[in-house]
Amino acid sequence: MRWWPRRRGPDRREEASALPPLELGWDLDADARELEQRRASLLMSRLQVLQARRVPLRVLSASPVSGVARLGFADGTALLVRVNRRGDTLATAVLVRRRSVRLCRYWRDVDGPRALLGWDDHRLEVLVTGVDQPD
């Protein structure tokens, strides 16, 4: 097999960096804002269904992302949430086994969709960061 000698001369990476940037006419900031609005509206619609049907929380588990918990509801919906304090997640995990934990309220905040989980006279506020696949 015959190998071709490398081309001598200027490096191709230097040639590519000398080219002017492409102007595609995209406004990436506007696209990112639109994507965030769509994500938030999807999460709000999922929360609305969970509250309207009074679907109980069945599973609370860790997610691959640090500081994020995975909530599994009885209808198969799985949400990724972030809590304010670390101990809140553990306390809720224990209560899922003993009590019926449900979504009491939800709203949109500057950080994103928030939800209030409730059981008996207790409440836990969470920041909903996304949806996940059910097990």
pLDDT in tens, 42-101: 999 999 999 999 999 988 888 888 888 899 999 999 999 998 776 666 666 666 667 788
Q: Can you give the residue ranges of every domain in the chain?
A: 28-132
pTM metric for this prediction: 0.72
DSSP-assigned states of every residue in 37-101: HHHHHHHHHHHHHHHHTTPBEEEEEE-SSTTEEEEEETTS-EEEEEESSHHHHHHHHHHHHHS--
What would the mean pLDDT of 29-36 be, rounded to a whole number? 88
Q: What is the pLDDT of residue 6?
A: 62
Percent of the chain with pLDDT over 70: 72
Q: What is the pLDDT of residue 61?
A: 84
